[in-house]
Amino acid sequence: MKKIFFIAAAMLGVVSLSAQEKTTSSQFGVKSTVNMSSFNGDDVKDNDYKVGFSAGVYGHFPITDQFAVQPEVNFTRIGGKFKDDVTEVGNTTIKDKNKTTLDYIQVPIMFKYYPGASRFNIEAGPQFGYNVYASNKQETSVYANGTVNTISGKTDIKDNVKDFDFGVNFGLGYNVTDNINVGARYYMGLTKVGENTDNGTTAANDIKNHSFSLGVGYSF
Q: What pLDDT score does 18 carry?
A: 39
Give residue 44's pLDDT band: very low, low, confident or very high (50, 70, 90).
confident
What pLDDT is stored for residue 16 in this prediction? Answer: 41
pLDDT at 12 over 60: no
Given a cut of 50, is residue 14 above it in pLDDT?
no
Which DSSP symbol is given to 22? -
**Whole-number pLDDT of residue 107:** 98
pTM of the model: 0.83
DSSP reduced 3-state for 206 = coil
The predicted pLDDT at position 43 comes to 87
Model confidence band, residue 1 (pLDDT cutoffs 50, 70, 90): low
pLDDT of res. 172: 98
CB 55 within 8 A of CB 75: yes
Task: Provide the CA 45 distance to its chain's centre, in angstroms.
Answer: 19
User: Average pLDDT of the chain?
Assistant: 88
CA 75 from centroid of its chain's CA atoms? 11
Contact 6, 36 (CB under 8 A): no
Interatomic CA distance for residues 104 and 106, integer angstroms: 6
Contact 193, 206 (CB under 8 A): no
pLDDT above 90 for 68: yes
Beta strands in 114-207 (DSSP E): 120-144, 147-156, 164-175, 180-189
CA distance 172 to 214: 10
3-state secondary structure of 220: coil
Which tens digit of pLDDT belongs to each residue from 157-200?
Answer: 999 999 999 999 999 999 999 999 999 999 999 999 999 887 77
Give the pLDDT confidence score for residue 19 in this predicted structure: 39
**Distance (Å, whole) CA 53 – CA 210:** 13
Written as one letter, the residue type at 217 is: G
Q: What is the pLDDT of residues 80-129, one digit of tens each?
A: 988 777 778 788 888 888 899 999 999 999 999 999 989 999 999 999 99
